[in-house]
Amino acid sequence: MSEKNRVDILEIMKRLPHRYPFLLVDRILELEENRVLGLKNVTFNEPFFQGHFPQEPVMPGVLILEAMGQVAAMMVLYLPGSENLAPYLTGVEHAKFRRPVRPGDQLITEAKAQRFRRRMGKVSVRATVEGELAAEAVLSFLLAERLDTKKGDA
């Protein structure tokens, strides 16, 4: 794998509008036109662990879906013409959670493009921990103009 197909956190922050505590992608390990592989390091210091099953810390499923969506968004945001666009999640299909994700885990998400039409698309995502399937889904999205890049804003 070449270094040019990797994306660090600084570049992720340039592309995704998310910020703490909702930026849930630490690194893109592989980036291709129709496939991306992303990494989320899960640490006990994250705020959701304080109240979500504090005696048995488990990453909430909705945040696993969000992390998977952000990895998929990185693939879409590297398409030509998407520089000033933001991805909006419009649908979740066939979501399944297969194992808990806990502090200390590395959540590896693979996203593959299923269908793209103009500014809409579908992506299949699979998240694993140590090679074991943790979650999977099909995500639908819409690309819209980023609010922070609209012309004429004061």
pLDDT digits (tens, 9 = 90+) for 40-55: 999 999 988 888 787 8
Residue 76 falls within a domain, yes or no?
yes
Catalytic residues: 52
Q: Which of 54, 71, 81 is nearest to 107 (CA)?
A: 71
- pLDDT value for 51: 84
- pLDDT value for 66: 97
Q: Which of 31, 7, 14 is nearest to 111 (CA)?
A: 31
Overall average pLDDT of the 28-36 stretch: 95
40: β partners: 107
How many structural domains are present in the chain? 1
Mean confidence (pLDDT) of the chain: 91
59: domain CATH number is 3.10.129.10
- pLDDT value for 68: 98
Residue 154 falls within a domain, yes or no?
no
Residue 103 falls within a domain, yes or no?
yes
Confidence of residue 36 (pLDDT cuts 50, 70, 90): very high
- pLDDT value for 79: 84
- pLDDT value for 3: 62
CB-count burial class (<10 Å; 0-12, 13-18, 19+) for 74: buried
Residue 30 falls within a domain, yes or no?
yes
Rounded Cα gap, residues 37 and 47, in angstroms: 25
| Beta strand segments in the chain, E | 27-31, 35-41, 85-97, 106-117, 120-129, 132-145
- pLDDT value for 1: 43
Q: Where in the sequence is the domain holding 73, given as residue range(s)?
A: 3-147
| pLDDT of 140 above 50 | yes
Range in 1-5, 17-21, 109-113, 124-128 the model is least confident about = 1-5
Residue 109 falls within a domain, yes or no?
yes
Sheet with 106-117, strands from edge to edge, namely 27-31, 35-41, 106-117, 120-129, 132-145, 85-97
Taking only the tens place, the pLDDT of each residue in 91-138 is 999 999 999 999 999 999 999 999 888 889 999 999 999 999 999 999
Rounded Cα gap, residues 98 and 85, in angstroms: 33
